[in-house]
A = this chain, B = another copy of it.
Amino acid sequence: MALRMALLGLLVAEGPATGYTLAKSFSGSLDHVWKASHSQIYPELAKMADSGLIEASDEIQSRGAKYYSVTESGRTELQSWLTEVEPTRTVRNEIALRSFLLSTLEPGQAISLLDREMEHYRVRSEMLIELKKTLDSSVGQEFGYFSAELGHRISDAIYEWSEWAKGKMEEKKTSSIDE
């Protein structure tokens, strides 16, 4: 359902697009929020067209490209999903799971894992700051701005957590030497 809504959202915001373009949009703006590959997107678009949420244009473009656009029913569907369906808040975050398992490691090992995380989220955070700048200056592109901001705040939170956890692990390491 979420993938379907993501596709509807992109079509609403950016107008008619092909499966290929939508896959690209995912990797450009939705990537830090929701991932999907073309092998998922094409069959989903076909199903959506079957249920009348989107329509394929009659003319097929060069290279066999098919342009899809949202129907009125598609717009309604997206609206009611956003406003009426209770969000699935299932967390499935491997980094968080790994943080849970950190204490099964030696402090030294844990520290090098945390260093890796810090580096990753520092880079990610910087990337999102850049993305926000781009989106900020191009008026009418607020679409991705909210999620870029959220992604940025979450990345920072993970970065700071890693720093904190590293500190804890260093204390542990020192105190075990003292014993």
- Given A6-B97, A34-B93: 20 more A-B contacts, CB < 8 Å: A5-B97, A5-B101, A12-B104, A31-B91, A33-B93, A34-B96, A34-B100, A35-B90, A35-B91, A78-B101, A79-B105, A83-B105, A83-B109, A87-B95, A96-B147, A103-B146, A149-B164, A150-B161, A153-B160, A153-B161
Interchain nearest-CB distance for A116 vs B (Å): 8
Q: How many copies does the complex hold?
A: 2
Instruction: Tell yes or no: A9 within 8 A of B by CB.
Output: yes
Complex-state Cα separation, A153 to B158, whole angstroms: 8
Interface residues in A, total, Cβ within 8 A:
59
A87-125 contact mask (Cβ, 8 Å, vs B): 1 or 0: 111111111111111111100010011000000100000
Majority secondary structure, A binding face: helix
A contact set with B: CB distance below 8 Å: 2, 5-6, 9, 12-13, 29-35, 78-79, 82-83, 87-105, 109, 112-113, 120, 142-147, 149-151, 153-154, 156-158, 160-161, 164-165, 168
- When A30-B97, A35-B92, A97-B34 are in contact, do A104 and B157 touch as well, CB less than 8 Å? no
Report yes or no: A105 in contact with B93, Cβ–Cβ below 8 A.
Answer: no
- When A35-B92, A150-B161, A157-B157 are in contact, do A101 and B82 touch as well, CB less than 8 Å? yes
